[in-house]
Structure 1
Amino acid sequence: MQQRPAELSVLIPPNSAKELSKSHRARSVGIGRAHAKAILLGEHAVVYGAPALALPIPQLTATASAGWSPHSPDGPRDMSLTMTGSASRPMVTQASESLRRLTAEFRATTGVSDRLHLDMIIDCAIPPGRGLGSSAACARAVVLALADLFDRQVSRTTVFDLVQTAENVTHGRASGVDAMAVGAAAPLLFRAGETQELPVGCEGLFIIADSGVEGRTKDAVSLLREGFLRHPGSQESFVRKASQLTDEARHLLAAGRPEEFGSRLTDYHALLRTAGLSIDRIDMLVEAALAAGGLGAKMTGGGMGGCIIALTRSWQASEVTRKLHEAGAVQTWVLPLRGLADDAS
C-alpha cells in the first residue's frame, strides 16, 4: 500500500561529511522535472530507422524529489520509491526496477561512490500506459533530481543515455523518441538517433483524447514483429509507407497546409490499424473526431490502447472535444499550434 505524502519520512542529509564523496558535497534534496509527449507520426517504424515527429505536452508533468533516508538500506536495495498521482501498483513495481537500474547507472557514470540509502518521491500527472511518455518523463525527472542532489553537471547526451537505461527495462528495445521528447521545448523531428526542431507553420489545435484503456507497448511491438516474420517483405513495406507519410507530414506542417497534414495523420492511423495495433475504442475516437470536423486523427504511442491525437481548427475544437467525450474519452488535453510554433522559433 502506498504511503500518503503526509506519511513520508523527512528527508535529511547524512550525519557526517565523511559519508559523502570527498570531491562533492551533496544537497539535502534534489529536484528534477520533465513533461509528457505525444507522437504525431512515426510510431513503431522509428525503431526500424524511419523518422518520427513528436510534440512536448508541457501541461502534463513529472516531478522527482531525491533525498537521504534516515533508514539503513534493506539488503542490496539502496533506494526507496514512492509514487503519487495515478500510478497503479504494477506500475510502481515496474518503475521501481527500472529506476533502481537507472540510479545505479547514474552513480557509475558520474562517479558517485556513496552507498547511502536514497528516498525517491515521484509526483506524476501523466497517466501511465497511454503513449504519453510517462515512464520516460519519470526517468528524466529522476536523473535531474539525482544530478541536483549530488551537485553533478550532466550533459544532454548523458541524460538521454540514462533515461534510455530505464526505458529499455520498461519497454524492451526503446527507440529513444520518448527520452528526447520529454525534455524538449519544441516539436521534434527524430531520425536515426538525431533530433532537430520541427517548424510549425499551421494554426489550429491538437486535441489529445485518453481512451481510458491502458496500452500494451511490449505486446504491440511483439505483434508487429511477428507479423513481419510471417509475411516476407511486410517490414520493408510498412517502414517505407511510414517514412513517406512522416516526411510528407513534416513538410506540410511547416508549409502551413493543415488539411493535407491532417490527412497524413489519418492515413498513418490506417497503416497502424491494418497492422493490428489499434483497438475498437481507439478507432471509435478517431472516427468521432473526424465526424465532428477534425482535419485528421490517429492513435498515438505504442498502441493496443492509450490515446488518440486529432488536429482541428480552433473554432471546431469544442465540438470535436464534445464528440470525443461522447465516444468514450475519459479526459482530453489541448495543444495550440500557435504556441508550438512560438516555442520552436
Structure 2
Amino acid sequence: MQKRHGELSSLSPPAAAGGLPERRGSRPVGTGRARAKAIVLGEHAVVYGAPALALPLPQLTVTATAGFSARSPAGPDGFSLTVTGDGERPKAARASDGLRRLTAGFRAVMGLPDTPRLDVIIDCAIPLGRGLGSSAACARAVVHALADLFGREVTPQLAFDLVQTAEKVAHGRASGVDAAAVGATAPLLFRAGRAEEPAIGCEGLFIVADSGVAGRTRDAVELLRRGFEERPGSREAFVSRATELTGTARLALAEGRPEELGAQLTEYHGLLRAGGLSTDRIDAMVGAALAGGALGAKITGGGMGGCVIALARAERAAGVTARLLAAGAVRTWSVPLGKQAGHGR
C-alpha cells in the first residue's frame, strides 16, 4: 500500500475542528511517542528523487508530554520546550524553532484558539547527530502529544506534514524519508513523497553501530552540493548509481538474496565515501564489520560522523558486533529483518 505525502499548505482543518473554549475536550496532559530510524540505502540521493530504504529502530524512542501552564507565556507563541536525555541542551536549541513552527501549524490546521502557555517536555533517547532521525522523532512525538492534549485525531498524512515543517527548519531541505520512517513499524521504501513497505524474503540482522562522533546533515549536504557544482554531471551520475543500488537491493530483499543485499550496502558506502562523507573511523568500522563476516556495511545517515549499518546472518551477528566495538563503536543496536512489534504514537 502506498501513501502520498503532500504539503502542509494543501491541508484544510477538519470539519469538526472548531474552537476549544475553556479547554473543553482537552486533557490535562497529552503524551506522544516516536522511534529512531536508520537509512539502509539512498541517503542524500533521496533528496533528488531517488528511492531510499529505511529501517525503524524500536530500541531508541522519544516520549513527549504537553500540558497547559499557569505561568506567563515564554514568548508571543506561548510555547515552552524542555528536552531531556542524550545531548539535551544542544538538541533543545536545534529543535526549538522547528517545534514552535510545528505547534503553530497544528493549531492552525485544527482551528484551535489562543491557549494558555503550552509546556512541552521531550525525553529523547536518540543520540544527537548520528543520522538516526532524532529531530523527526521529536517532532512526531510532539504532534501526537498535542493531539492527545487537545483530544484531536491526527491522520498519518497530517502527522507527516507537520513533522516536515519542523524538519525543513532543522535541515533546510528535507526529503521526507525521516518524517515517514520515525512512524514506521517495518522497513519502508520511500521515493518522491511515497512510502510503502517492501516485500521481505530475507532473514538476518541489521546492526547499527554508533561511532561516537556527531555529524551535521547541513554540512554534509553542503559538501556534496559543492562537489556536484565543481564536477558537471556528477550529481546525475550519483543519483543514477544510488537509484540502481537501491533498486537492486529492493529485489534482493524481496527474493531472499541476503548476500546481494549486503553487497549493495558496501557499494553504496563507496559512493558516499567518494563524495567525502565518510571518516577514518567510519571506514575502519565498515572494514571491521566485513572482516567479522558481515554481508555488507556502510555509513548511514548524513555522514561526516554518525553510525555504520551492517547486515549479518544471525549466527554471525555477535562476531560482527564485537568487531565493530573493537574498531571504535561506542554502542550498537540490532534489528531483525521483518515487521517490528509495537507502534509508537
TM-score, shorter chain, exceeding 0.5 = yes
| 1:164 corresponds to 2:145 | no
Distance (Å, rounded) in 2 between the aligned partners of 1:163 and 1:338: 25
CA contact (8 A) 1:40 1:309 kept: yes
CA contact (8 A) 2:70 2:116 kept: no
Q: CA deviation at 1:156?
A: 1.4
2:116 is matched with 116
Instruction: Note the 1:1-345 alignment, pairs <5 A.
Output: 20-21=20-21, 24-338=24-338
Q: CA deviation at 1:339?
A: 5.1
Distance (Å, rounded) in 2 between the aligned partners of 1:305 and 1:282: 7
Residue by residue, what CA displacement relative to the aligned partner does 1:168-217 show, whole Å, maximum 9, x if unpaired? Answer: 01111000000000001111110110011012111111100000000110
Distance (Å, rounded) in 1 between the aligned partners of 2:23 and 2:42: 44
Distance (Å, rounded) in 1 between the aligned partners of 2:79 and 2:64: 13
Aligned to 1:321, the other structure's residue is in SS state: helix
Code of the aligned partner of 1:146:
L
Aligned to 2:21, the other structure's residue is in SS state: coil
Structure 1 pair 114/77, CA: closer, same or farther in 2 (3 Å)?
closer
CA contact (8 A) 2:83 2:89 kept: no
CA contact (8 A) 2:285 2:328 kept: yes
Residue by residue, what CA displacement relative to the aligned partner does 1:210-251 show, whole Å, maximum 9, x if unpaired? Answer: 000001100000011111111110011000000000000010
Residue by residue, what CA displacement relative to the aligned partner does 1:76-123 show, whole Å, maximum 9, x if unpaired? Answer: 241111111112422211111211111111111111112310111111
Distance (Å, rounded) in 2 between the aligned partners of 1:342 and 1:37: 15
Code of the aligned partner of 1:186:
A
Q: CA deviation at 1:335?
A: 0.6
Aligned to 2:321, the other structure's residue is in SS state: helix
Distance (Å, rounded) in 2 between the aligned partners of 1:249 and 1:341: 24
Structure 1 pair 341/92, CA: closer, same or farther in 2 (3 Å)?
closer
2:9 is matched with none
CA contact (8 A) 2:185 2:341 kept: no
CA contact (8 A) 2:62 2:123 kept: yes
Aligned to 1:142, the other structure's residue is in SS state: helix
Aligned to 1:206, the other structure's residue is in SS state: strand
CA contact (8 A) 2:186 2:338 kept: no
Distance (Å, rounded) in 2 between the aligned partners of 1:337 and 1:150: 37
Aligned to 1:37, the other structure's residue is in SS state: strand
2:13 is matched with none
Distance (Å, rounded) in 2 between the aligned partners of 1:137 and 1:254: 28
Extract unaligned runs of 5+ from structure 1. Answer: 1-18
Code of the aligned partner of 2:80:
S
Code of the aligned partner of 1:245:
L
Distance (Å, rounded) in 2 between the aligned partners of 1:340 and 1:141: 18
Distance (Å, rounded) in 2 between the aligned partners of 1:149 and 1:247: 42
Return the TM-score normalized by structure 1.
0.91
Residue by residue, what CA displacement relative to the aligned partner does 1:16-56 show, whole Å, maximum 9, x if unpaired? Answer: xxx94369421100010110111110000000010000111
Q: CA deviation at 1:69?
A: 1.2
Q: Percent same amino acid at aligned positions?
A: 66
Extract unaligned runs of 5+ from structure 2. Answer: 1-18
Residue by residue, what CA displacement relative to the aligned partner does 1:125-171 show, whole Å, maximum 9, x if unpaired? Answer: 11111111111000000000001101111221111110000000111
Aligned to 1:179, the other structure's residue is in SS state: helix
Greater shift, 104-113 or 75-84, is seen at 75-84
Structure 1 pair 83/22, CA: closer, same or farther in 2 (3 Å)?
closer
Structure 1 pair 169/338, CA: closer, same or farther in 2 (3 Å)?
closer
1:16 is matched with none
Distance (Å, rounded) in 1 between the aligned partners of 2:236 and 2:75: 49
Report how many aligned residue pairs link the two structures. 325
Code of the aligned partner of 1:48:
Y
CA RMSD between the two structures: 1.7
Distance (Å, rounded) in 2 between the aligned partners of 1:53 and 1:175: 13
Aligned to 2:173, the other structure's residue is in SS state: coil
